[in-house]
Chain A
Amino acid sequence: MPINCSSCETQRAVLRRPKTGHSVCKECFFRAFEEEIHHTIVSAQLFQPGEKVGIGASGGKDSTVLAHVLKVLNERYNYGLELILVSVDEGISGYRDDSLETVKRNQQQYELPLKIVSYQELYGWTMDQIVKQVGLKNNCTFCGVFRRQALDRGAMMLGVNKICTGHNADDIAETVLMNFLRGDIARLRRCTAITTGSEGAIPRCKPLKYAYEKEIVLYAYFKKLDYFSTECIYSPNAYRGHARAFLKDLEALRPSAIMDIIHSGENLSVKEDVKMPVQGTCTRCGYISSQGLCKACVLLEGLNRGLPKLGIGKHHKLHHKLLAQEPLSEAETRKLKSIDF
């Protein structure tokens, strides 16, 4: 028996919203989904008229839906934004080809400008070359750190005021859980912020912060949006994997759990006397960093010196030597050279 849409009460409902449990028609779902993101943007004052906003586009579902919705809302509500798609090409043969194709198609469909920045261009190394040097076991350190910075560096080249990423509610809830389990209090405090980054770096924001992953898929499905599944091809970090599995179980028991966890994260209050790492900037590249040299620059230094282990462990003591371009001692070199596969 067909059910009527709980919102308009006239159309036939075609889906049950994972977030609220309401049965709604296609049009009402689109409208609710878009309006919710509009509400997020307006209430958190994410943008100012006239800003140039970079959308981190990976060709995956989150960034595809983000690009689409931002384009729609920018026109519907006259945000007055100049939107531009920014994609990163890590230089992994075969891996990016399909997703970059997707991004290029999106660019045409949405009529948004696109800039693809390559690792080669940004760092002088492709991911394939890095894997050759450090082995498969450690490359996730590189791909995480490099990817995080690639978007900023690319955006800086383009003179963008803000970067939007497709992080959704599930990602945020998962990060809250993960940081809590790992005892990372500094990240725990920051991870629910809708906008991050201050001086030096380009502010990043997450307009899909309150959008459920399942609804993003539903939206893409019914809008017939073209996306490519781009999970990191290397194993994710163990804790994140556990946190993700736990979150899925929670959501099955109580769909609001995702929002409930974000609410928890937003209302955690950290004691003032807890030491927080001071946020400074990297003396070499200007990216935010708690150390004199940011993680990416340390990794690069290691690659360039043929000491790939440099960025993997904790080697803060060596930073002054790196900064001063001094050579390392023989013992230090020996420790950093070998890589276990």
Chain B
Amino acid sequence: MKCKEASAVLIIRVGDAFCRSCFKEYFVHKFRAMLGKNRVVFPGEKVLLAYSGGPSSNAMVQQVQEGLSRDAPKKLRFIPGILFIDEGAVCNQSWEDRERTMSEIENILKATSFPFHILSLEQLFTLPQTMLQMNLAEIPKRDGSYKQAVGSFLGQQKAQAEDGVSDAADRLTQIHIADNSSVECSQSAAFSRPAAEHTAALRDMFNSAKTLTAKQELLHLLRNHLILHVARTHGYSKVMSGESCTRLAVRLLSNISLGRGAFLPLDTGFSDNRYGDVVIVRPMRDYSLKEISFYNRLFNVPSVFIPALDTKASGNSSIQHLSESFITKLQADFPSTVSTVYRTSEKLHVSRTDTTQPKNQQDKCLLCMCTLDTHTGPASAFFATQKSQQLSEKKSLKNVPSAKDSEKQCCNGGQCCKESASCTNSVTGTQDIVHLLCYSCRVTIKDLNSMDKLPSYILKEAEHRTRRMEMRKEIEEFLLDDHSEDI
């Protein structure tokens, strides 16, 4: 028992009993400590809270509110906004059901008084091709320390106070108002229904995935694209994502199984800078799901149940789902499982190869946007797999070294690549996308029946990158060093 006064309401670990107010203090402190320790969220910075409606993201929103409130002794100083993405179409929900969920979400978000965005996953079909390009030039330069940033923020605030703008709270309101005029983000009770053709296209795309594993992975990748897009277009330079350590332990195991070993630190670490200009942070990663549900129950934090892709699926229907039931079962037998896995991940970091490799080996995966992990030597699982493929395939295909999947439609017409490898108008061929992907995204894409179902911003960018690579190959001998442009 922490204090000797009140009576205990819960026990987190053996010997750790809390009364209500001590638990609140513990919980609130943990959030600030996480942000304070990592010092990546700067004062005055616009931060987008990626909100799913679940317990963990509700607790996160609540912590941000708590931290921004005036009486908080160690006040947080960033400027939040909230994003909810409705994925109902993927789960075959009716528009009425989706609308109901969204208005439930809207009521919760309205109560926060933060600006918020509610949009449907169908928006993917309106994203621009530039979406997947790295805008390194636009990455705000943060020279100087966190301390300096805090100092200059406070100075600015003081100046504003003198100008009659009292404090950040007022600026928040301003942003709130400004955001109301935003076109694509729904703020009114009637949610604009996505175009029927987009809903159909989205369903088509997910139906073309042969496995639930690939569907879940695809959803995760595409949802991230949409979050990134909203962050960029609204000037948010940070995104807060609310995964608990329980969730992250599951993701770690699942991602190892999906071949994402090289990216574990990005996929699960506190901060994830793969996009360059927008950084993802995960401030809830020190909380267990158990702590979060206790907190939410004790302090009436709302939560919305939203059916997911795997809601009705059985325990071993996908790799992600299997990982979840496995961790849950193991945690029951060995209560330290989650924390052990989580601590293991803390000891990993992103491969250092990035800067020492030639430029073309620093290319980013078209889908997950991590630095490609396919430049392994011949003594690797990646090459061994290709070797196995080659050795089991038709002899007639063996002479064309990289024509693995070209039996599927590679050009619009579908025929010309069969004979020659010099087809130039191959737009949506598996091959053209595959070589732009990391190991794991290749495995995911292999489970899709058809590439053409992917949103056009992906297909167009694939085409663009392929063209740039061909150009680079053509002029290679004239380039003086490895300093080619980003593709």
Contact = CB atoms under 8 A, between A and B. Distances in A.
Interface in B195-219: 211, 213
Nearest to A39: B387
A7 B388 CA distance: 11
A262 B440 CA distance: 12
Contact of B261 (A36, A249, A267): A267
Interface in B25-64: none
Interface string B312-341: 000011110010001000100100010011
A185 B342 CA distance: 12
Nearest to A260: B259
Contacts of A246: 322, 326
Contact of A259 (B256, B352, B381): B381
Contacts of A270: 347-349
B379 A194 contact: yes
Interface string A82-122: 00000000000000000000000000000000000000000
A242 B15 CA distance: 29
Which of B253, B259, B352, B391 has the most A CB atoms < 10 Å from its CB?
Answer: B391
Interface stretch (A64-72, A132-140, A173-181, A221-229): A173-181
A266 B348 CA distance: 13
Interface stretch (A24-32, A280-288, A321-329): A24-32
B330 A267 contact: no
B261 A264 contact: yes
Interface stretch (A14-22, A50-58, A153-161, A296-304): A14-22
A126 interface: no
Interface string A185-200: 1001000001000000
A250 B211 CA distance: 13
The B interface, classified by DSSP as helix, strand, loop or mixed, is helix
Contacts of A24: 392
B319 A250 contact: yes
A148 B348 CA distance: 28
Interface residues of B, number: 56
A6 B393 contact: yes
Contacts of B443: 254, 256, 260
A183 B342 CA distance: 9
A177 B196 CA distance: 44
A9 B394 contact: yes
Contacts, number: 160
A268 B340 CA distance: 17
A237 B358 CA distance: 44
A6 B348 contact: no
A262 B377 CA distance: 14
B258 interface: yes
Given A176-B256, A267-B373, A17 B385 contact: no
A20 B260 CA distance: 20
Contacts of A149: none
Contact of A7 (B255, B343, B377, B394): B394
Nearest to A269: B351
A268 B376 CA distance: 13
A43 interface: yes
Nearest to A32: B391
A269 B348 contact: yes
B330 A181 contact: yes
B299 interface: no
Given A20-B392, A253-B322, A181 B341 contact: yes
A267 B388 CA distance: 20
Contact of A183 (B259, B330, B344, B393): B344
B388 A20 contact: yes
B395 A266 contact: no
Interface in B343-371: 343-344, 347-352
A75 interface: no
A127 interface: no
A157 B318 CA distance: 50
Given A7-B391, A256-B443, A270-B348, A181 B337 contact: yes
B257 A6 contact: no
Which of B255, B257, B337, B377 has the most A CB atoms < 10 Å from its CB?
Answer: B257
A257 interface: yes
A36 B381 CA distance: 11
Given A20-B392, A270-B348, 8 more contacts: A176-B256, A177-B253, A249-B326, A254-B213, A259-B384, A261-B259, A268-B348, A269-B351
15 contacts: A20-B389, A20-B392, A35-B391, A40-B384, A43-B379, A180-B253, A181-B341, A253-B316, A253-B318, A253-B319, A254-B211, A256-B385, A264-B260, A264-B262, A269-B350
